[in-house]
Structure 1
């Protein structure tokens, strides 16, 4: 027979007051732990989302041949009003940057690469965040040193409100030095961090030089081997309807104001004929986007207030800063 198991002994019931005290203590402990966990979670440092790098949807572009290395005496061919005062030219550029809210400044006939030169002073005058790049050019005699009291080397330059991450420059004249006599007419292109468009500038030979057509062909072939969209500025020494520019004008977009005769960008004085000569030589071209979308331009025009329009005579003071007028264009980038 199995032995009978005795009934378990029951503990004596706790007094009601004690039981209530224990339950309250347990509840407080649980709430305290939960409250601490919630507080810790709220105070935990939150990871900040990465800020996306946004490219501009429009670029305000300024282009100007400052005639900074031209002739120095009034009455002589190629006279430049501010030739020996690079500080005055830089002050004009800085003022235009503020007036036009410029993101890009491209320059021709500019001196750089030495203390006191146009570009050294420009770098100091621009606000932080700008980057300046130059490309060396030469005169027909092969010399690149800026003449007279000027310092540095002759060439073209690009300044951007951003960080230049790469640049390339090359001679638009023949690759055979024996045929160019050492003359360099550069094309300078820069890529800017976060920008969809490459920025390029150049200065072609005068229109009576047959090598100009070859220059245009080389530019069209070499400016964007990777297919990146670009803005091309410069002194082309030709109007938009010139046959020499066909390799560019048939594929690129230009502000209509620069295709009209009344919007001239260059003034010369014909001393023999006693007459003014106005031409449209400076241009801003924009390529199609990667998707084939045609570029949209707005706010484009010519600042003729800074172009000397007086007769180049000894007794006539100039009324401008260069024989070229600055050209300004807003490029609306389709992204």
Structure 2
């Protein structure tokens, strides 16, 4: 695992699809949100980008006796972190969306709908974080299941950055892209957003990862390292592994 670095010029970013804090189906499903809270803390990331985060779900709250009273983003935030959550999807029993947990102060956030069709509710969460006083713009995404949708959503991210973020400002785009090819990479690279990957950064499926669906792209930050933790404890908590990147400011 990447060693935590006390150097303030090093920014440690993680992205994690937490599968709504529940694993399994039907009566065999189990609540993993308490284990996920411990896992998020062990990542020791300055910024944690989360997908499939529940704000509330009446059915699961009635089924599990240890369902947290707090919304999941607040429950998962380690002590001293600020949590930002925005809903992407409204369902029969509740709602879920993207979240960001930050060790550094948050100066503001915005949300933009990214739904490409009526069967998938998607959104973009943009959070401005002050890292040693310098604004860093972090965008948390969860792209669609259809390849054409993902390309259109990547183009939407490009337009959003051009419209809402000052030229030259450091930008991180992180999340579950549902993409294992180079289509999204090629689109984002047009705006100098670069990511990297390799056999040790596969994130899906967590039990036996063979592809990297989760990515961390950056502009204006120098990459130092990237890794995805492995092991039984991780594949029990979600169908995705977390991805951790370190950057030099």
> If the TM-score is normalised by the length of the shorter chain, which range does it land in?
0.7 to 0.9
Map of 2:228 onto structure 1: 302
* Cα RMSD after superposing both structures: 2.8
Q: How many residues align?
A: 225
Other structure's SS at 1:155 match: strand
Contact 1:168/1:188 (<8 A) preserved: yes
Map of 1:190 onto structure 2: 127
Question: When you count strand as a share of all residues, which structure comes out higher?
Answer: 2
Map of 2:15 onto structure 1: 63
Contact 2:114/2:153 (<8 A) preserved: yes
Spell out the pairing of 1:58-137 with structure 2 (5 A cutoff).
58-68=10-20, 72-73=24-25, 84-97=31-44, 102-112=45-55, 115-123=69-77, 126-128=78-80, 130-137=81-88
* Offset, 1:162: 1.9
* Offset, 1:119: 1.6
Q: Tell me, which stretches of 5 or more residues in structure 1 are unaligned?
A: 1-54, 147-152, 175-179, 270-275, 290-294, 309-319
Other structure's SS at 2:201 match: coil
Cα deviation 1:115-160 (Å, max 9, x = unaligned): 333223124xx222x211012111xxx52744xxxxxx31111111
Whether 2:249 is the aligned partner of 1:249: answer no
Map of 1:278 onto structure 2: 210
* Offset, 1:186: 1.0
Cα deviation 1:254-288 (Å, max 9, x = unaligned): 23xx2x2453110178xxxxxx672110101101x
In structure 2, relative to structure 1, the CA distance for the partners of 1:182 and 1:216 (3 Å cut) is same
Other structure's SS at 2:152 match: helix
Map of 1:229 onto structure 2: 170
In structure 2, relative to structure 1, the CA distance for the partners of 1:304 and 1:144 (3 Å cut) is farther
Contact 1:137/1:183 (<8 A) preserved: no
In structure 2, relative to structure 1, the CA distance for the partners of 1:164 and 1:145 (3 Å cut) is farther
Map of 1:218 onto structure 2: 156
